[in-house]
Amino acid sequence: MTTATETTKVVPLTCHGHSRPITHLSFSSTVDDDQFYLVSACKDNNPMLRDGITGDWIGTFIGHKGAVWQTRLSSDATLAATGSADFSAKVWDTHTGEALCTLQHNHIVRSVAFPNQPRPQILATGGMEKKLRIFDVSQSITSTNNTNGNGANGLNGASAHEATPPSYEIGPGIHGGTIKSIVWTHDPNVLVTAADDKMIRWWDLRSRGPISEYQVDGLIGSCELSPGSLDSREGAGVLSVAAGKTVYFFEGGQPGTLIKKLDLGHEVACVALNTQQRKFVTGATGDTWVRVWDFDAGTELETGKGHHGPIWSVSFSPDGKLYATGSEDGTIKLWKFTTGPHGLWR
C-alpha cells in the first residue's frame, strides 16, 4: 500500500518554458512500456508536450494566435486538441507537431474533449458561444501517414488543412453560460459539460439532448474525470468538480449521481482525485499552495508550497504516483505521490 505521507519531504520537479499563466494540464493514459505524456495549455498561445514521468520538454505546438485555454491528449497520446481565444480549436499530430485541422468558431473556445478511445475520430468543443459542438475529424486524421503510437518528437507546427471539418450542435440553446469544461465518460455516447450557468450536464450523443443535470453552488473552476473507483466495483471513474468553495464527486458511470460534496471554506480553483489512495488535491484562487485532503474525512492532510501564483489546474498521472500543478506563475510542477523511488526521485 503506497501513501502520500512522504510528499512534503520531497522537492517537486519544476517545468519551465511557458511565459504566461498555465490554464490547463492533462495527462494521457498509459501507453507502451508504462510511458505517459503531459500536455499544457497556456496564455502564451503555445501549448507544450512533455514526458509525463520526468516533465522533460518534448515539443511546442505552434500556430494559435491567442491564449490557449484547454488542451487534451487522446488516450494513446497520438493526438492533441487545443481550444483558444483566437476563436479556434486545433487537432495536432503529437509525433510530427503538424496541425491536422483547424476548427473555426465564432467566439473563444474554452474546452475540448476526445472520446476515450485510441486515434479518436471526433472532437467535442465548447466555449463562449455557449454551444456544445461535435466535429468529425476523421478525414483530417486518416489523411496523415503517421501511425506511431508512442513517439512524440520533432514538433514543428506545420500549417493545418484549410477546410473546417463538418460538425453538429448538441442541445441548442440549453447552455446559459460559457462552457468551461467538457469531459467524455467511458461510455462513448455520454459526455459532460460544466458551464458558467453553474450547471453540470450529462449528454447523450444518440438523442443529442441532456440526460441529467446538477446545479452547483458557485462558479465552476474545474471538471475532470479521475480513473478508477472508490469501491470494489469495476470503476468508470469519478467526476471531480471544483465550484466556489465546494468540491463535488459524481459517479463516472451514473449520470447525475453525486457521491459526495465537501465545503472547504475557501474558493477552490481546481480539484483532482486519486481513487486508489482516497485522497484529493486542490488549488485555490486566493493563495499559492496545493493542498492534499482525505476524501473520507474531508480533512486537510498536507500543504505543498513552491508556486508563486494561484494554481489553476491539477491532474494526477494515470498511475496515480504523481500529480501535476499549473500556476499563474507560468510554471508546471510535478509532485511525488508514492513511497520509494519514482521517476527522477531516486
pLDDT digits (tens, 9 = 90+) for 94-144: 999 999 999 999 999 999 999 998 889 999 999 999 999 999 998 888 765
Instruction: For the chain, give the percent of residues with pLDDT over 70.
Output: 91
Q: What are the tens digits of pLDDT across the range 258-294?
A: 999 999 999 999 999 999 999 999 999 999 999 999 9
Grade residue 343 by pLDDT with cuts at 50, 70 and 90: confident
Strands (DSSP E) contained in 173-310 are 179-184, 190-195, 199-204, 209-215, 220-226, 238-243, 246-251, 258-263, 268-274, 279-284, 290-294, 300-304
| 134, three cell numbers | 461535435
Answer whether 139's CB lies under 8 Å from 124's CB: no
Taking residues 138-159, report their average pLDDT. 53
Specify the range with the lowest mean pLDDT, choosing from 50-64, 220-234, 252-266, 319-333. Answer: 220-234
Q: How confident is the model at residue 9 (pLDDT cuts 50, 70, 90)?
A: low
Which amino acid is present at 142?
Answer: T
- The residues, any chain, with a CB within 8 Å of residue 226's CB and separated by 6 or more, are 237, 238, 239, 240, 252, 272, 273, 274, 275, 316
Give the predicted TM-score (pTM) of the model: 0.90
Provide, rounded to the nearest whole percent, the portion of the chain with pLDDT above 90: 79
Per-residue pLDDT, 160: 45
Residue 221's nearest CA partner among 178, 277, 181 is: 181
Q: What was the pLDDT predicted at 7?
A: 43
Cα first-last separation, the chain: 19
pLDDT(303) > 80 = yes
Walk me through the domains of the chain, giving residue ranges and CATH numbers. 7-336 (2.130.10.10)
pLDDT tens sequence across 200-240: 999 999 999 999 999 999 999 999 999 888 875 667 899 99
